[in-house]
Amino acid sequence: MSTAELLAKQEYKYGFVTDIESDMIPRGLTEDTIRLIVEKKNEPEWMLEFRLKAYRHWLTMTEPKHWPNLTYPKIDYQDVIYYSAPKQKATKKSLDEVDPELLRTFEKLGIPLTEQKQLAGVAVDAVFDSVSVATTYKEKLKKVGVIFCSFTEAIRDYPELVKKYLGSVVPTNDNFFAALNSAVFSDGSFCFIPKGVRCPMELSTYFRINNAESGQFERTLIVAEEGSHVSYLEGCTAPKFDKNQLHAAVVELIALDDAQIKYSTVQNWYAGDEEGVGGIYNFVTKRGKCAGKNSKISWTQVETGSAITWKYPSCILQGDNSIGEFYSVALTNHAQQADTGTKMIHLGKNTRSTIISKGIAAGKSNNSYRGLVKVMPKAEGARNYTQCDSMLIGSTCGANTFPYIEVMNNSSSVEHEASTSKISEEQLFYLQQRGISQEDAVSLIINGFCKDVFLQLPMEFAVEATRLLGLKLEGSVG
C-alpha cells in the first residue's frame, strides 16, 4: 500500500441537524436589518448606534481577498440570514424551561446542560445559531463576583461594563469581518472576573450552528480585573450542509495589572466533504489586550474544522512586563484551507511573547501560518520566540509560512525557527513493526508533533484534541 492513497472516510459525527422551529428574519443586510435585530433583542439605543456605525464603516470596506493564501467563491452578503433563533420562551427562569429538543442537541454534542448532568468544574454557555440558550453555574460564579452570561444578558444587566469594554480591543472599523460582526452580532458570552479573584472553574462557550441559511456572528468579551485569573474554553460544531455557512466572530480580551487570561479553542466546524463541497467559512477576529503591567494572555487553539479558516488570535502587549502566548495546532485535510497565525504587538517595556505553531496538512489541503511580531520603539527589552513547524501527509497538500517581523528598537530580541517534515513510510513501518496499527501510528506521530501545544490545553480538552486529530486523519495515510 502506498502512502496517501486512502483518504479519510471518517464520518463527521456532529453533522446532524436539530429539527426545531426558528424565528428567522429575511435574508439580506441593510440598516433595517440591524434595526430589526436590535428590536428582536430589545437592545438599548447605544447598541443601535454602535451597530449602525459599524455597518456604515463596513459598507466602505472591502473583503481581504488578496493577502490571505485562500481561494473561495465570492460571498453574497445579501444572501445570508443574519438572525435565526430557536423559538422558545423569551425569558427562562431555569434550565427546566429550555426546549427539551435543544437540551437533547447539546447532550448529543457531549455538553449536558441539565443540573444533574452538568460537567463538573466547567461552566458552559450554550449558543445555538444566533442566541445563547443556557448558561450553567451562573449563580455559583456570581457568589465569588464572577459574571458569566450571554452577551444579550450582559447588555441588559451590565450595560456600563459592556459600554466600557466593547470595541476597546477590536474597534468596529478594524477589518471587514470585524465590522460586519459589530453590525450584526447576535449573541455570545460575557465574562467579568473582578479584582483579585481566581475564577473557581473553567468557563466555556459551546457554539452550534444549526440553520443552513444563517450565518453565526457571535461576540465574546472577557475582562480580567487587577490580579484576577481565568481560563476559558471554546468549542464549536455544525451540521453537514452542501452550502457554505458564514461564521464571523469577534473575541476581545482585556487583562488589567497582574491579570491572566488563558483562552483555549477546539474548533471542529463542519469542514466540507472530500471534494470541498459545503463547510463553514470561518472568518474570526480574536485579540487580547494586556492593558496592565505584568498581565498575561495566552491563546491556545486546535483548529481542525471549517472549509476556510481565517484567524489570527493576537496580543497587544501594552503593560510593561506583560506576556503574550500563542500555541496553535491547525490541521487541514481534503480540500480545507487555513490561513492562520497570530500578531504580537509589543508596546510596553520588557514585554515577552511566545509563538508555537504546528500546521498539519493532508489530502489536497492548504495550510498557511501567517504571523506578525511588531516591536514598537518604546518596547525596550522586548523578546519574542517563534517556532513554526509544518508536517505534510502525502504529496498533494501544501504548507506555507509567512512571518512578518518589524522591530523598531535595538534592545529587543526576536527569534524565529521553522521546520517542515513529512510522516515517512519508514516512521510508520517502525511503529507498525512494534505492533501499533497504522492509524494509531499516525496518531502517535501527530500527537508527538503537537505535544508542545497540547501541554497547554486543560486536561479534558487535551484528551479531546488528541482524539479529534486521530479521527480527522483516519485513513489519510495509505
Partner 1 sequence: MLEIKNLRAGIEGREILKGINLTINKGEIHAIMGPNGSGKSTLAKVLAGHPQYEVTGGEIIYEGRNLLEMAPDERAREGVFMAFQYPIEVPGVSNAQFLRLAYNEKRKHLGEEELDPLEFKDLLKERAKVVEMDASFMTRSVNEGFSGGEKKRNEILQMAVLEPKLAVLDETDSGLDIDALRVVANGVNQLFTPENAIIVVTHYQRLLNYIVPHFVHVLADGLIAREGGKELALELEAKGYDWIRTVDKGAGAPAN
Binding site for partner 1 (CB under 8 A): 1-2, 424-427, 429-438, 440-441, 444-445, 447-452
CB of 269 to partner 1, least distance (A): 27
CB of 105 to partner 1, least distance (A): 35
CB of 265 to partner 1, least distance (A): 21
Q: For residue 160, give every residue at least 6 positions away whose Cβ sits within 8 Å of its Cβ, in sequence order, or none.
A: none
249 vs 428 by CB, closer to partner 1? 428
CB of 11 to partner 1, least distance (A): 24
CB of 165 to partner 1, least distance (A): 39
Q: Which residue in the block uniquely carries the three cell numbers 463553514?
A: 280
444 vs 471 by CB, closer to partner 1? 444
Q: How far apart are CA 349 and CA 314, in angstroms?
A: 18
* Cell of residue 8, nine digits: 479519510
395 vs 433 by CB, closer to partner 1? 433
CB of 180 to partner 1, least distance (A): 39
Amino acid residing at 72: Y
Please report which residue ranges of 121-172 form alpha helices under DSSP H.
138-143, 151-157, 159-165
CB atoms within 10 A of CB 196: 13
2 vs 60 by CB, closer to partner 1? 2
* Cell of residue 252, nine digits: 476581545
- What does the DSSP 8-state code read for residue 75? P
Q: How far apart are CA 422 and CA 444, in angstroms?
A: 14
Cα–Cα distances (Å) from 155 to 42, 55, 219, in that order, read: 10, 19, 12
Select from 105, 100, 94, 112 the least CA-distant residue to 129: 105
96 vs 425 by CB, closer to partner 1? 425
CB atoms within 10 A of CB 425: 13
35 vs 451 by CB, closer to partner 1? 451
